[in-house]
Amino acid sequence: MTLEQKRWNEKYSRRGPTLFPPEDFLVRRQHLLRAGTVLDVACGDGRHALYLARKGFAVTGIDFSANGLRLELFAAHEGVHVNTCQRDLDAEGILTDLGAFDNIVVIHFKPQLHTFEEMCRILRPNGFRFMARTAASRTDSNVDHLHRLFHCVGRPLRLLRYNCSVR
């Protein structure tokens, strides 16, 4: 187990019995998602995965934290289903056996370039990718990161909307 994985496991084990609410920026833009399947990358304890499952999407959540994946308990409690997958997203080829998705959601997680490329390969044609994170305490900005990601893939990607709020 890596130190980072241990840190996240400890963090989730200290969390209380209720989930944080989904981020408002996803709730307000969920209409942009295509009907069908969603891969929630670095889903944590599943506040977005569960929110989208409740809305009728077939959701798979992937994260390296076993404690984060307690989302299975929340899902069972609510009577909704979310597939979960415990994997290290920094490893090469980690998404290839998951099949294709209509939507990929990445919230508060900065993927490695090779993981981003894999996401491009498993996103269905006309699929939708929703990415959001905060730049606080990071050395590079979201724009720089997005710029690098968009230039590393050999497939055209369209940036539909970019929101940036600086406090």
Ligand X SMILES: C[S@@+](CC[C@H](N)C(=O)[O-])C[C@H]1O[C@@H](n2cnc3c(N)ncnc32)[C@H](O)[C@@H]1O
Query: Which of 4, 78, 140, 144 is the binder for ligand X (CB under 6 A)?
Result: 4
Task: Give the CA radius of gyration of the chain.
Answer: 15
Q: What is the DSSP letter of 20?
A: P
Tokens of 111: 């993927």
Stretch that binds ligand X, among 28-36, 85-93, 117-125, 140-148 (CB under 6 A): 85-93
CB within 8 A of 157, min separation 6: which ones?
120, 129, 150
The verdict on 42 binding ligand X (CB under 6 A) reads yes
Number of residues that bind ligand X (CB under 6 A): 16
In the complex, what is the shortest distance from the CB of residue 109 to ligand X, in angstroms, rounded to a whole number? 5
Type of residue found at 40: D
Q: Is 145 in the site for ligand X (CB under 6 A)?
A: no
Comparing CA positions, the residue from 89, 83, 128 lying closest to residue 110 is 89
Of 68 and 127, CB closest to ligand X: 68
148 binds ligand X (CB under 6 A): no
Closest approach of Cβ 149 to ligand X, in Å?
16
| Residue 138 found at the interface with ligand X (CB under 6 A) | no
Q: List Cβ neighbours of 25 (8 Å cut-off, separation of 6 or more).
A: 132, 163
Query: For ligand X, which is the closer residue by CB, 81 or 108?
Result: 108
Minimum CB distance to ligand X smaller for 1 or for 158: 1
Length of the chain: 167
Q: Where are the alpha helices (DSSP H) in the chain?
A: 3-13, 24-27, 47-54, 71-78, 113-122, 142-152
Positions in 108-137 near ligand X (CB under 6 A): 108-109
- Residue numbers of the site for ligand X (CB under 6 A)? 4, 8, 42-44, 47, 63-65, 68, 88-90, 107-109
